[in-house]
Structures are given as C-alpha cells and as structure tokens.
C-alpha cells in the first residue's frame, strides 16, 4: 500500500505571529515579501483567495503591506 500525498501537511515546526502572537504551524503562515515579518495565515493572506494566489506563484505580501500600497 502506498502512502497518500498530503497537501499542506502539518509539521512539528511552529512559531508565533508577530501581529497577534498566536502560535501556528509554519505550513499555515509565512513571511511577508515586503516587511519580512513572520505572520499567521490570517495576517499574511487575509483570505482563502489570496492564499490560493500565493500557492500559484504570487508574492506573499501581508495584509498591512497590501493596504499601505
């Protein structure tokens, strides 16, 4: 039996969001390409549509940097 491929699988690596302080799995968030802050998915992407855009190659720009531009 072959193992199933898991997309967005959880890891044992985690960190805290620099905005809200919530601890999150590194798969669930990331670093902003502009300000370089490490953020949870809520503050990095803001919506599922933006997350999908980043998954398909858009730069991961956080909500604050997008609204400032």
The answer to whether residue 4 scores a pLDDT higher than 60 is: no
The answer to whether residue 7 scores a pLDDT higher than 90 is: no
CA dist., res. 23 & res. 16, Å (int): 4
- The answer to whether position 1 is within a domain reads no
CA dist., res. 53 & res. 47, Å (int): 10
For residue 25, what pLDDT is reported? 86
Rounded to 10 degrees, the C-alpha dihedral 13/66/33/51 comes to 50
Domain that holds residue 32: 14-68
The pTM is what?
0.78
pLDDT digits (tens, 9 = 90+) for 8-51: 566 677 899 999 999 998 888 999 999 999 999 999 999 999 99
- The answer to whether position 9 is within a domain reads no
- The answer to whether position 32 is within a domain reads yes
- How many domains are contained in the chain? 1
CA dist., res. 69 & res. 61, Å (int): 11
CB 5 within 8 A of CB 12: no
- The answer to whether position 64 is within a domain reads yes
The answer to whether residue 5 scores a pLDDT higher than 90 is: no
For residue 13, what pLDDT is reported? 74
- The answer to whether position 4 is within a domain reads no
């Amino acid at each position: 039996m072959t193992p199933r491929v898991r997309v967005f699988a959880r890891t044992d690596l985690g960190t805290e969001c620099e905005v809200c302080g919530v601890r999150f799995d590194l798969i669930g968030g990331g670093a902003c390409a502009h300000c370089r802050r490490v953020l949870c998915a809520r503050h990095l992407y803001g919506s599922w549509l933006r997350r999908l855009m980043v998954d398909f190659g858009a730069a991961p720009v956080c909500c604050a940097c997008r609204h400032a531009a």
